[in-house]
Amino acid sequence: MTAPRDPRGRPRLLLATRNPDKIREIRAIYAHLALDIVTLRDHPGVGELPEPGGTYAENAVSKAAAASAATGLPAIADDSGIEIDALGGAPGPRSRRFLGDEATDADRNRHVLDLLRDVPDDRRTARYRAAIAVVVPGREPRLFEGVCPGRVARAPRGTGGFGYDPLFVAAPDGRTMAELSFDEKNRISHRARGLRAAEPYLVSELLGDRGEEGSAPGANTG
C-alpha cells in the first residue's frame, strides 16, 4: 500500500498514544527511520481509544486499529505491564489501572511495595512485557512482543522513566529502570525490544527499500 506522506515524501506513522513519555521513547528508537512520526496529540479529534483489558495483545490491537480507522494512517500501539511472580503475575495488563483510573504512579508503586512487604529478595522476580500492534490500512494487524526480566526493589529509586520504573531492577549492577539514562533504558526495555521486533515489518510495509533516514536505496536497515 502507499502510506500518506509528509511534504518531504516520508511515510506517516501514527503513534496511538498521548503519553509524552512513550512518545519520546518510541520516537528515539525509530529516529533512524525515514518516517514522519505523528501522535494522537496531532489528531485531537480522535477520542479515547478502546482497551478491552483482557490481554496486552487485545489492548494493543484495539488501540492501533481504532487510531488507524479514525485517521486513515498506519498506526502502532503498545500495551505493556509488569508481571510480578509473587502476585501470580499481577498486575499484568491491568498495570495502569491497578488502583483505578485516578491513582498515580506513586500510588501504584506504594501499593506494590505494601503487597510485597514480607516477600524475600529471592522471590521478588518480575518482568516487564509489551505487546506492539501495527495496523496498516488494508492489512491484517501484526503483533510483536518484548520482554525485560528483572525483580522488584524494596523501595523506589531514581527519577527517570515512568510507571513502575522506580521499582523495577533490570540492570546487572542493580539499578532500577528509573536510575538508567534515557539511552540505557531504550537499549534494554520491554518496549524497545518489542519495537525493534516490529521494525522490519514497518520497513517492509511503509518504506520498501528506503530504510534509514538518509540511506540510499538498497542500504542495510539493520
Q: Are 84 and 152 in contact (CB under 8 A)?
A: yes
Beta-bridge mates of residue 134: 76, 142
Which residue ranges form the domains of the chain, and what is each CATH number? 12-207 (3.90.950.10)
Catalytic residues: 79
Q: Which three cell numbers stand for residue 87?
A: 502476585
Distance of CA 178 to the CA centre of its chain: 16
Quick check: 217 pLDDT over 80?
no
67-108 per-position pLDDT tens digit: 999 999 999 999 999 999 999 999 999 898 888 888 999 999
pTM of the entire structure? 0.89
Q: Which of 73, 94, 67, 74 is nearest to 83 (CA)?
A: 94
Calculate ∠ Cα 83-89-93, nearest 5°: 60
Closest CA to 13 of 116, 125, 137, 186: 137
215 vs 164: which has the higher pLDDT: 164
pLDDT in tens, 138-189: 999 999 999 999 999 999 999 999 999 999 999 889 999 999 999 999 999 9
